[in-house]
Structure 1
Amino acid sequence: MNNIAILGAGRIATFMAQTVNGMKDVNLYGIASRDINKAEEFAKEYSVEHAYGSYEEMLQDPNIDLVYIATPHSHHYDHAKLCLQYGKNVLCEKAFTANKKQAEEVLSLAKEKGLLVTEAIWCRYMPMAQMIKDTLNSGKIGTPASLISTFGALVSGKPRLKEPSLAGGALLDLGIYPLTFAMIAFGNEISDIKTSAVLTDLGVDETHSVILTYKDGKVATLSSSMISAMESQAIIYGTEGYLKVYGMNNYEKIEVYNSNRELVETIERPEQITGYEYEVTAAFKAIAEGKLECPEMPHEETLRVMEIMDGLRASWGVIYPFD
């Protein structure tokens, strides 16, 4: 049985706990919080074997095979390094770190320690990601030419999204999903990026738009906001039709349309626990095979995403204390 422990006992940790409890070959071994009462309450509610009142205490436990980092992305750099220093493999929630420099340091330490580190951007690991690629490669919509992806939510009131010191703004929390979708569909050979953003009084992006132009002539237009409930979907247009993908963080279904705008095929998402199970399975598979990264989300791709987001923030004038 593979033992996983969760570092941080917030909302996203509950989502992972529910997932692991539905998996047959993974054991929810530990939960750590800076508050032992919070950890014990979490353990009781989600049937976790062990509760710890500090991250260091949990990381000293030799029975843990993988640590899922569920803290805000402003803390991922410190917590990933802490896990690695204690000899633990890491599944780190997105955004991997606050910037590329931090990501490079974490990946370098993982390589030095011979440990797996992978970014837990769940849609990369889902069967639907490959199904989207397969549908595009099938020629059902001809040659793909452009895409539009939107994802927004009414979350501007959350403290962690307000503050530059917490790596706030829409980009790292929401905008990463349309960007990820574009890279799944069209790859990362981008020749030009144009962008615009509206900033809050504290200097983080509340709404932004991005246009990616690819070396082969494809164009991706991406929009995200933390002050409006944008539709969570994408449309990919081709020379002989188009397809719609519903759900930018958890792909729900694909609809294929011909050039007459007629629906010709619907591809449903496979049955799942929550969708998080795929990243957990991929991480344990990579560990068993002695790999230091998951093929579903290679380190090179994590760094490319961080590099693009660094560039976007720089062009908007969004600066974090750790930049």
Structure 2
Amino acid sequence: MRIGILGTGNIARILAMTIKKVKVLELYAVSSRNNFRAKAFARYFNIPKAYGSYEEMVRDENVELVYIATPHSHHFEHIKLCISHKKAVLCEKAFTSSFEEAEEIKRLAAKNKIYVAEAMWTRYMPSRHIIKDIISSEVIGKISMVTVNLSYDVDEVERIQRPELAGGALLDLGVYGLNFITMYCGKDIDKISVTATKTETGVDGKECIVVVFKNGIMAVSVHGIYGRSDRCGVFYGEKGYIVVENINNPSSINVFDDSDKLIKHIDVPKQISGYEYELLETVECIKNGLLESKSMPLDESVYIMKLISNIKSKF
């Protein structure tokens, strides 16, 4: 399947390296708003086609799948562009910059019968099923609380600080925490409370989100742009706790009993970059005639954007 990358930033570079090692995909094209950048990217990764505009690439009849690697402020526009040219889409997170945009994309994808999925990579990784299996085994008993955190020193990144680029900690980092919580705790939410602070430009710099589920589980997600955190996710149960190292690309899972004794350690399978899982599933789904991802269906993307809109209203 011939894939074209829309955008030439850091994510696009990691993706290009990964695609080169995934046999079911051919890295066929790359596009940028700048022709020089597109050609330089193409030379570096030995890509046959380089386009100085996104419109040119999606008009290429040989492109079968487009990976959107632009800032999330532009995802809505770029997904619509792909749909209008009948191109299947795998779009980097966050899916859009608002709930309304996500709903519109879902409607357009269904109307045009075009495959569209969000590339929330943790949804596709083997670690998702490993963690679910540990929880289901009840080795730590009934879970009462979950904590997650994800912070990096990115406050000087221009994209993060600019409101017009949908900047802020929530859309860039908090989306991982919310996906983690809903993957393992479900969506039957009773209430949400938020404490946040904003930067001088008006975007959210850090926040603490508390989600209480109707079954009594409380989940706390903390994220910010001012420094690196340990990035762990922890499930607290009656008989112990589970620690997931690095919630946005899990590396290992440790299970402890209620006396802090390590009773199980699991390393996740070795990977190329972590992007290969979403790529492989996308190819499989398209070849089987599906219009949505099995791991990240559009209803889930819309739901996460609805949660984000709700949380932003509480800032």
TM-score by length of 2: 0.98
User: How many angstroms does 1:211 deviate by?
Assistant: 0.5
SS class of match (1:315):
coil
Does structure 1 residue 123 correspond to structure 2 residue 122? yes
Q: Which residue of 1 aligns with 2:49?
A: 50
Q: Which residue of 2 aligns with 1:216?
A: 215
SS class of match (1:184):
helix
- Could you tell me how far apart the structure 1 residues matched to 2:11 and 2:136 are? 34
Matched residue type, 2:300: E
Q: Which residue of 1 aligns with 2:172?
A: 173
Does structure 1 residue 71 correspond to structure 2 residue 54? no
**What does residue range 260-279 of structure 1 map to in structure 2 within 5 Å?**
260-279=259-278
Query: How many residues are matched?
Result: 315
- Could you tell me how far apart the structure 2 residues matched to 1:69 and 1:8 are? 7
Deviations 1:185-206 (A, max 9, x none): 1111111101100011221110
RMSD: 0.8
User: How many angstroms does 1:293 deviate by?
Assistant: 0.8
SS class of match (2:154):
coil
Deviations 1:176-221 (A, max 9, x none): 1111111111111111101100011221110100000011111101
Q: Which residue of 1 aligns with 2:235?
A: 236
- Could you tell me how far apart the structure 2 residues matched to 1:75 and 1:5 are? 17
User: How many angstroms does 1:110 deviate by?
Assistant: 0.8
User: How many angstroms does 1:171 deviate by?
Assistant: 0.4
- Could you tell me how far apart the structure 2 residues matched to 1:81 and 1:54 are? 15
- Could you tell me how far apart the structure 2 residues matched to 1:97 and 1:167 are? 9
Matched residue type, 2:111: E
**What does residue range 25-44 of structure 1 map to in structure 2 within 5 Å?**
25-44=24-43
Q: Which residue of 1 aligns with 2:106?
A: 107
User: How many angstroms does 1:291 deviate by?
Assistant: 1.2
Runs of 5+ unmatched residues, structure 2: none
User: How many angstroms does 1:229 deviate by?
Assistant: 1.2
Deviating 4+ runs (over 3 angstroms): none
Does structure 1 residue 162 correspond to structure 2 residue 166? no
User: How many angstroms does 1:118 deviate by?
Assistant: 0.3
- Could you tell me how far apart the structure 2 residues matched to 1:90 and 1:67 are? 5
Runs of 5+ unmatched residues, structure 1: 317-323
SS class of match (1:292):
coil
- Could you tell me how far apart the structure 1 residues matched to 2:11 and 2:299 are? 25
Q: Which residue of 1 aligns with 2:285?
A: 286
Q: Which residue of 2 aligns with 1:186?
A: 185
Comparing 284-293 with 83-92, greater Cα deviation is found at 284-293
- Could you tell me how far apart the structure 1 residues matched to 2:292 and 2:95 are? 13
TM-score by length of 1: 0.96
- Could you tell me how far apart the structure 2 residues matched to 1:50 and 1:314 are? 43
- Could you tell me how far apart the structure 1 residues matched to 2:129 and 2:251 are? 13
8 A contact 2:24–2:283 mirrored in 1:
no
Q: Which residue of 1 aligns with 2:3?
A: 4
